[in-house]
Amino acid sequence: MYRPLIILGLLGAFAAQGRQAGTEMLRPDQPEPPAHLLADINLLGGDYGDETAPIPNDSLTQALTGLHSKAHRAGLEFLVENAFSYNSIHHPAPDKPGTQLWYLLHAHANYRLIQAPSNRETWLKLELSGSTALTGKTWRGGNMNDAIGLTGDTHTDIFGERIFFLPEIALLQTFNRGKSAIVAGVVNQTNYFDTNSYANSSFGQFCASPFVNNQVIPMADSNLGVIFQHQFHEQWYAMLGGNFTSCPQNASPLKHTDGKNFNVLAELAWVHDSGAVKLTPFMARINELPDGEERKNLHTVAGIALNVEQQLGGSPWKAFCRAGWSDSTRDNFCGAAVQWSGGFVCSQPLQHLGVCEEGEANQFGIALAVTRPDDGSMAEGRSRSKKEVVMECHYNISVTPWFLIQPSLLWISNPAGRDDTGNASVFRLQTILTF
């Protein structure tokens, strides 16, 4: 009964800190802070292209650059990411294919409906995600993670044999000269909370769940929700939001929202010139009906998470780290009770070594995660004392502004969903097309 009070106390402390920071850092004689932090979170912008790519100005790049510019002037922003993903699995689960080929799609679009003075704008936000198997063996094998047993997903954008859905259909309203905003509708919370510049997307960054989001935070998409945002200093912002969590990804939230399963998330963030620090307390209410039982399982989960990113001086190296803790070892529906992950990213490594010229999109990344899985993520009979360890490394090779090649290697020790092996690995080769 004290967990909600703890969460409310944390939120009150954050609000007090925000008011104090705003008072101390912004005197009356200073200009109002620019609201760029919220725009960076909520909008895509109209820029397209990487002039440092080996083939920077082909005809398709010229057409796409012009299309994005014209669309942005008309109040439309969009980004379409496609990937063909070849995966070779070492030690797959019994009766699961060791070689899998997938097509992945992720698209964002923002359309400005109303533009009023003082940066008051109304936007319609749409998001489409999906995946489909490209071979018969892949199709019959089901979701790729069934062959691995990792807590969460081996690839966060592989959802199933042929699944396409809308994680977000929401309205964004900005006001207070752009320093405040509300997002409401069908909300994808991962677009707003726990974001990281170096580990946030499987299209050109890391692919496994521990490196895309903190799995301790009970974030949801495809569900009705609302988020309140406020930037109170040029380097500080705060968010508070909540989603219902009962609707599956490929279903209508109007038909699958019971009002009994929900979450509440908050975030206080300091974003400075070379990095960011974000603190995210959370709580979730779980009301599930276990198989074969009549009594419902009423349970509240609460915890806190930390997200840090940092440019390491003037070097090409960047570092990131996430850590999260939940007060429960069960009903953490993103799969983890405790989790730490961190890694390094190096931009244009061969160029800095003097080997050859590289595009800015070329990067080497390596990351490690240690997870105490949720009880529900563990295979029957698996020891709870064993932690799941994941390591992933990749190298991005840009060809044109719209075409990227990414080989990567994923290694898992003690995959929680399996009791037949102590380790598994995946060699992955992705070709990524961004329009």
- Secondary structure class of 34 (helix, strand, coil): coil
- Given the structure tokens 């100005």, which residue do they identify? 57
Rounded Cα–Cα distance for residues 258 and 98 (Å): 39
Residue (of 3, 18, 1) closest to 233 by Cα position: 18
Buried b (16+ CB within 10 A) or exposed e, 15-35: eeebeebeeeebeeeeeebeb
**pTM of the predicted model, to two decimals?**
0.89
Structural domain contains residue 7? no
Amino acid in the structure at residue 320 = F
Quote the number of domains for the chain: 1
Rounded Cα–Cα distance for residues 422 and 318 (Å): 31
Structural domain contains residue 15? no
Structural domain contains residue 118? yes
Query: Whole domain around residue 138: which residue ranges?
Result: 37-434
Q: Contact at 8 Å (CB) between 158 and 143? A: yes
Domain CATH for 247: 2.40.160.180
Rounded Cα–Cα distance for residues 275 and 280 (Å): 17
Structural domain contains residue 230? yes
Instruction: Please state whether beta strands 275-288 and 76-90 pair in parallel, antiparallel, or not at all (unpaired).
Output: unpaired
Structural domain contains residue 2? no
Rounded Cα–Cα distance for residues 409 and 240 (Å): 36
Structural domain contains residue 75? yes
Rounded Cα–Cα distance for residues 325 and 306 (Å): 9
Q: pLDDT tens track of the chain, all 435 residues? A: 444 444 445 444 444 444 444 434 334 444 444 568 999 999 998 788 788 899 998 999 999 999 999 999 999 999 999 999 999 999 998 889 999 999 999 999 999 999 988 889 999 999 999 999 999 999 988 888 889 999 989 999 999 888 999 999 999 999 999 999 999 999 999 999 999 999 999 999 999 999 999 999 999 999 999 999 999 999 999 999 999 999 998 889 998 888 889 999 999 999 999 999 999 999 999 876 554 555 456 789 999 999 999 999 989 999 999 999 999 888 888 889 999 999 999 999 999 999 988 989 999 999 999 999 988 888 887 777 789 999 999 999 999 999 999 999 999 999 998 888 889 999 999 999 999
Structural domain contains residue 31? no
Structural domain contains residue 13? no
